[in-house]
Chains A and B, each alone.
Chain A
């Protein structure tokens, strides 16, 4: 047996070392390692524990290569060739790669694979940041444990990419500290960028040769220069400040830190250019990115290549032609490379066509070379659930520059939170600037909430289809802004409310209204803090409404703006501009006083209207028409006031509705996600259980009518035919008896009442003459009461008579259907 087994001591050593690491994250991994080691023999498939003859041969070749390599290049660091796997067996790295095709569409592209790997695993730091690790676990156990070193990260990602037919390689090399330690705190959060990005859609104006010359803007050159000087003076200071605070100590181990990442070569899956993927973040980089400082070797599942190019100045000038023996030294000489495979497939396709023409087959006699054996890693499965709850433990925290990003799996948080981005004012992340939260599956349709700590505002965004058609809700202590979807009946799209003011914007209304601005009376609010009236009853001071042009009306009849000055009892109307005119027509009405108890209503006179009519040729309207206009305006004023009150109420409703929803957050479970489906199923089961319990309770509650009779018979389990018939008869007879008794009772009551009434009437007849008014009244009351009672009794009796036979029949039927009696009765 040439299988090289690492001693337990060494295993312990590794555990000890990880424990020594400052990083807290090391601890679980170590436990896991021990666990795996203990149960390795039971859990792992045989290929994990034992090397096959092919593998042994391969290991020998590799060892030979390593010896030669260290002899030829003594100054270079040792390569990562045959690390130990989780069962303590030496395995060649190329064989740890197993192309893993998956059915999930998410893993079909490199972006999907990369983000999955980056999200799914958490990083274990290398034992020593400058040496290649001695361990490389298989991807299957990595997937189970959800913890990995950067080499295992790259191995898993490379396996997935090879499964998706990318020409991918693991790269062992050197990178900057931030990349090795997954320290993103120098980078801007990518989520922030999307926020800032605004759609810069420049209106492309057609160049018209008749465009009028724009006016020259007169401005002083001197002033602009002065301003520029000032700005220039201020700028360097600021920059200096920024730089100072952001500078970090230089990395002592720069260029020595070992890292492993993935190289994707062009040529397959319509990849045009070679690029790197950092498996820890899932980001792609150009091959000349300055985060990567050097490459020792690259490998895929077919071969292993050692870099022979000089990369002391970074990876910018590297050439990735792996066939070139001057630049890349392969471990397996003349083994098939991926490139050859691709070419071969193309050739085969061509030769298929060719073979029809020329029948003589010229098989190339290839020299027998050693082929890479099959990977020892067993088939890895990535379940849908893994894809959904991609983070280890369902959540992950990433620190960016001045920002912290937290991610949670769906349904993990009871309020549906999936992402939270906290931004800070300073680099040390002590003072919170904004908190952005993304939600999913919430019943109140909340999708995003943003809390700005600076101006103390909260912004909430909703998906369509919730109450009030609310899409957007932003509020501070004083101001409240809401936006609505277009489904509203009143076409309201936006409402801004601040103390003493309210603005509503409309879109697409039939009456062409597009903005309504309300000013409330402030003085009242301050002078008498009468809370009984409520904020609703605050008198309106001014309402301004603006309208779009309605083309079906002439311009000087089409209202552009109306101002209701409620406090001054005035209404001002401005009409639309006529073509080519500068000045609109205007009218101002003073409302005549309404009639009060003391005074008659004030008469409307022509001098209550003043205005400017722009077209001198038009005849000014007479008083009657003006009065008609005023009446309509006053009617409109009432409706407007009514609508404003409605709006105010709605504002309060929205607030209270949101409070209620926030107090009791409900999630809906979509059956399209595994977690959702599981939750939905358990919820349904619970409901079913409750329903069943209810049912049982109801059944028990229903009284067994036969019970007393059965007791009389001695509670026999089975009834004889005779007994059954007897029972049936008895039961019916008893019921009949009871019905008769009931009828008798009502009859008795009726008779009694009648008698009483008669007696009383006789008494009245006698004493009628010498009775006080009060007594007479009493008598009247008594009589009416009694007649009512008699009437009721009579009615009840009649009803009883009507229903009794029916009830009797129903009971008969029921008894006949009873499972205990039915077999005997039918026969």
Chain B
């Protein structure tokens, strides 16, 4: 701060400066030489020091995508900006600048240390993204509100806070306040927080803390409950039987059907509806449980398949490694031998021998791979058959249950029709029962309308059931197809990769050999 007047003009951060800084910070002469000769890639630089440079604006940093440590202290920066692409940053030092507001840190999710000492910031804010923050240095700023510090409570890993030299630190309770509200804190204002202070603080703020803890606990429980629920729904979705463990399907059958409601007021229909609902729900629950059981069975099938697949691949890998290790040992010996020969004829013979050996290696590796492919093909075929069986049986069961649902609906429809006819007759005879409401009477004056309403209701109900059935079945089938295809694709990719690896390796060996010639 003292020498600020002496400093030269504020400079702009541009590529030139950055390049210079990145080359300069290399510790070894060799490295510097290489950097100068080959140029330096900003994307690979892990740390950058730009302190004491009178920088006015943070700029040109977008290429430093793997940067982990950035030192920008003792500059003239007024605004935090241009850091959006430094997603790997863990250490950011912006001390001794002229910053007035915390901002522009939204993408620094890996940040662990944030140093904002000696700035002019008066509010702690806009730091929600810094989930991994452990050190927060904020000395000599303009923080006045003690409550504002509570913002930092959301960082679970935070254990060092430095707030010295802020107006709020003059508060006599300041130390206890922080000790109480940050139970994980070990360092405060350059000092170790001792156990005594912590105990005193927890006594002092006992009630507030209790209340807060209670609230936090509740929030946590609520979140856990929600998560549990979400997981359950996910499980049901995976089992293709979501919303079947209750009357959801039944209710959706009678949704958006105004005529039905009036019909229900007809005596006899209500009780009929009740038994119908009961039976429907029973069937749905049955299907739901079957669905879960089937899901479990599929899962075990899957896991056993994957485990044996990995076992086969690892086994093959081991064999290949053995072959390779053996070959390499011999190969190095041969190469060493080769280097001693001077006679071109002899050399040629030896080289051809080497080439043969390489071919041999290629062949044995290929044989191994072919063997593995055929083995895996077998088990994939077997798995396909088994999983298809499982899916088919599930589908059939589901279809059976849905057929029962349809029967129930038919049955219900017939009974409703009967009742409707009877009521129509009684209305026509003008001897209606006492407890009929007016609009029902109105409805039953028109015979066609009644029969239409009943028929439409029936059609709608069947439609809902059929929809649900079709949804279940198509999804199951799609899942199966995607699964098998995924496995096959992956296997194919693996096979291609392996073969290309072998060829590339063999080529590499041959190249090496040629170089010797």
A residues bordering B, Cβ < 8 Å? 208-213, 215, 577, 580-583, 592, 601, 603-604, 610, 612, 614, 616, 622-625, 627-628, 631
Q: Are B305 and A603 in contact (CB under 8 A)?
A: no
| Contact A612-B505, Cβ < 8 Å, known A210-B309, A580-B313, A622-B38 | yes
Any chain A CB within 8 A of the CB of B379?
Answer: yes
> In the docked arrangement, what's the CA distance between A581 and B505, Å?
12
Q: Which residue of A lies closest to B319 (CB)?
A: A582
Q: Are B383 and A210 in contact (CB under 8 A)?
A: yes
Any chain A CB within 8 A of the CB of B35?
Answer: yes
Interface size of B by Cβ–Cβ distance < 8 Å? Answer: 43
Any chain A CB within 8 A of the CB of B418?
Answer: no
Which stretch in B25-33, B167-175, B232-240, B464-472 binds the other chain?
B25-33
CB 8 Å contact bits of B310-327 with A (1 = contact, 0 = none) = 011100110011001000
| Contact A627-B312, Cβ < 8 Å, known A580-B494, A582-B320, A622-B41 | no
Residues in A neighbouring B502, C-beta threshold 8 A: 582-583
| Contact A616-B504, Cβ < 8 Å, known A582-B320, A582-B498, A627-B30 | yes
Q: Are A581 and B312 in contact (CB under 8 A)?
A: no
Whole-angstrom distance between the Cβ of A551 and the nearest chain B Cβ: 15
Q: Are A212 and B320 in contact (CB under 8 A)?
A: no
Whole-angstrom distance between the Cβ of B264 and the nearest chain A Cβ: 54
Whole-angstrom distance between the Cβ of B372 and the nearest chain A Cβ: 8
> In the docked arrangement, what's the CA distance between A212 and B40, Å?
51
> In the docked arrangement, what's the CA distance between A577 and B505, Å?
14
> In the docked arrangement, what's the CA distance between A211 and B313, Å?
11
| Contact A582-B369, Cβ < 8 Å, known A210-B379, A622-B41 | yes
| Contact A628-B31, Cβ < 8 Å, known A581-B497, A582-B502, A583-B505 | yes
Residues in B neighbouring A616, C-beta threshold 8 A: 500, 504
> In the docked arrangement, what's the CA distance between A577 and B314, Å?
10
Interchain residue pairs A-B with the least CB separation, the first 4:
A210-B308, A582-B320, A212-B375, A212-B312
Residues in A neighbouring B30, C-beta threshold 8 A: 592, 601, 603-604, 627
> In the docked arrangement, what's the CA distance between A524 and B375, Å?
53
Residues in B neighbouring A628, C-beta threshold 8 A: 31
> In the docked arrangement, what's the CA distance between A575 and B38, Å?
26
Whole-angstrom distance between the Cβ of A807 and the nearest chain B Cβ: 46
| Additional A-B contact list (16), CB under 8 Å, known A208-B307, A616-B504 | A210-B304, A212-B308, A212-B311, A212-B312, A577-B317, A580-B494, A581-B317, A582-B320, A582-B321, A604-B30, A612-B504, A614-B505, A624-B34, A624-B40, A627-B30, A628-B31
| Contact A604-B34, Cβ < 8 Å, known A212-B379, A614-B501 | yes
Residues in A neighbouring B371, C-beta threshold 8 A: 215
Residues in B neighbouring A603, C-beta threshold 8 A: 30, 33
Residues in A neighbouring B455, C-beta threshold 8 A: none
Whole-angstrom distance between the Cβ of B489 and the nearest chain A Cβ: 13
Q: Residue among A577, A580, A604, A622 with the most chain B CB within 10 A? A: A580
Whole-angstrom distance between the Cβ of B503 and the nearest chain A Cβ: 10
Q: Are B494 and A210 in contact (CB under 8 A)?
A: no
Q: Which residue of B lies closest to A614 (CB)?
A: B501
> In the docked arrangement, what's the CA distance between A631 and B27, Å?
11
| Contact A577-B304, Cβ < 8 Å, known A210-B309, A212-B312, A624-B40 | no
Interface residue from B368, B376, B504, B508 paired with A212 (Cβ < 8 Å)? B376
Residues in A neighbouring B33, C-beta threshold 8 A: 603
> In the docked arrangement, what's the CA distance between A209 and B307, Å?
11
Residues in B neighbouring A622, C-beta threshold 8 A: 38, 41, 44
Chain B binding site: helix, strand, loop or mixed by DSSP? Answer: helix
Whole-angstrom distance between the Cβ of B305 and the nearest chain A Cβ: 5
Q: Are A580 and B31 in contact (CB under 8 A)?
A: no
Q: Which residue of A lies closest to B33 (CB)?
A: A603
> In the docked arrangement, what's the CA distance between A196 and B338, Å?
51
Residues in B neighbouring A601, C-beta threshold 8 A: 30
Residues in A neighbouring B34, C-beta threshold 8 A: 604, 623-624, 627
Interface residue from B31, B365, B378 paired with A213 (Cβ < 8 Å)? B378
B residues 455-495 in Cβ contact with A at 8 Å:
494
Interface residue from A212, A577, A624, A631 paired with B44 (Cβ < 8 Å)? A624
Q: Are A581 and B375 in contact (CB under 8 A)?
A: no
Residues in A neighbouring B311, C-beta threshold 8 A: 208, 211-212
Residues in A neighbouring B40, C-beta threshold 8 A: 624
Q: List 6 A-B contacts (CB under 8 A).
A: A208-B304, A210-B379, A211-B308, A212-B312, A624-B40, A627-B28
Whole-angstrom distance between the Cβ of A709 and the nearest chain B Cβ: 60
> In the docked arrangement, what's the CA distance between A826 and B309, Å?
102
Q: Are A582 and B308 in contact (CB under 8 A)?
A: no
Q: Are B498 and A581 in contact (CB under 8 A)?
A: yes
Residues in A neighbouring B321, C-beta threshold 8 A: 577, 582
Whole-angstrom distance between the Cβ of B10 and the nearest chain A Cβ: 31
Q: Are A210 and B305 in contact (CB under 8 A)?
A: yes
Q: Which residue of A lies closest to B512 (CB)?
A: A610
Q: Which residue of A lies closest to B307 (CB)?
A: A208
Q: Are B38 and A624 in contact (CB under 8 A)?
A: yes
Q: Are A627 and B308 in contact (CB under 8 A)?
A: no
Q: Which residue of B lies closest to A561 (CB)?
A: B325
Residues in B neighbouring A625, C-beta threshold 8 A: 44
> In the docked arrangement, what's the CA distance between A94 and B33, Å?
105
Any chain A CB within 8 A of the CB of B382?
Answer: yes
Q: Which residue of B lies closest to A205 (CB)?
A: B311
Residues in B neighbouring A577, C-beta threshold 8 A: 317, 321
B residues 375-395 in Cβ contact with A at 8 Å:
375-376, 378-379, 382-383
Whole-angstrom distance between the Cβ of B52 and the nearest chain A Cβ: 25
Q: Residue among A211, A581, A610, A624 with the most chain B CB within 10 A? A: A624
Residues in B neighbouring A631, C-beta threshold 8 A: 28, 31
> In the docked arrangement, what's the CA distance between A580 and B369, Å?
11
> In the docked arrangement, what's the CA distance between A610 and B508, Å?
11
Residues in A neighbouring B382, C-beta threshold 8 A: 209-210
Q: Are A583 and B324 in contact (CB under 8 A)?
A: yes
Residues in B neighbouring A211, C-beta threshold 8 A: 308, 311-312
